[in-house]
Amino acid sequence: MAGSNAAPHAHVAHRQASARGQQRIKHLSQHLTVLSANVRGLRTNLGDLTHNFVLRHQADIVANTETWLNGEVEAIFGNIPGYTKWVRKNREQRVGGKVAACFKHGLQSQLIDIMLPQGMEAIFFRVVLSDKTGLLLQGRSALDFLTEKVDTLLQQHRCSHVMILGDLNHHLEQDAFTSLLTVQGLANHMTFPTHERGGSLDPVLTDLPDSSILCQQLG
């Protein structure tokens, strides 16, 4: 997610949840730890997420899909000690879905306000590590939109690299997913099932070399 003369490194891990899972990117020097989780209800699973994963693995960024939160849940709900409050994208008209993210205090991050296609659940952030900048996208995403817009977003927000996390429904839109990878020069680093019934529904896409990303299951 960060750019430099030498490629930055990341460690991504995954924990199978009741139906999806959680992933991690480790922070050492130029490394960043990102925990990406399909929580299937943040109110129900907040304690498990916080104590068994976020704090234990010292995540720098926590990115959740399927939070099932809406505007009736107060903005300060579920604040994790040492982290910012959740940045949320709620879904008011339908049950399920919704995404949220929070950041360890001290990490330079900026929420990017982007006009999204109708029905697209996603949050964009600009993350800065020293003089290295990256664009993080987390959530359910319209693949055609990403194929068209990622380059423009990187240029507009002066980002060197991109990381895309979350449930992209790529198993339902394989042609669009392949086009995104090809046009944007991205690789999917998720190599193991992220669903209890098998299959990988939560890819980790970056423009970093394979040697810079390690995906690992958290259990």
Walking along the chain (219 residues) 10 residues at a time, the average pLDDT comes out as: 35 41 45 83 93 90 89 90 92 69 93 86 86 75 89 92 83 85 92 63 84 73
Contact 17, 37 (CB under 8 A): yes
Q: Which CATH number fits domain 10-217: 3.60.10.10, 3.40.50.800, 3.40.50.300, 3.30.70.520?
A: 3.60.10.10
* Burial category of 159 from C-beta neighbours within 10 Å (exposed 0-12, middle 13-18, buried 19 and up): buried
The pLDDT value recorded for residue 7 is 38
Contact 132, 2 (CB under 8 A): yes
Distances (CA, A) of 144 to 89, 170, 180, 184, 188: 20, 11, 7, 11, 17
The pLDDT value recorded for residue 89 is 84
The pLDDT value recorded for residue 29 is 42
How would you list the strands of the sheet with 108-112, edge to edge? Answer: 108-112, 121-129, 132-140, 161-165, 204-206, 187-188
Tokens read off for 193: 């099932």
Contact 58, 82 (CB under 8 A): no
The pLDDT value recorded for residue 153 is 93
Instruction: Give the start-to-end residue ranges of the domains of the chain.
Output: 10-217
* Residue length of the chain: 219
The pLDDT value recorded for residue 109 is 92
Contacts of 5 (CB under 8 A, 6+ apart): none
> What's this model's pTM, rounded to 2 decimal places?
0.80
Contact 14, 215 (CB under 8 A): yes
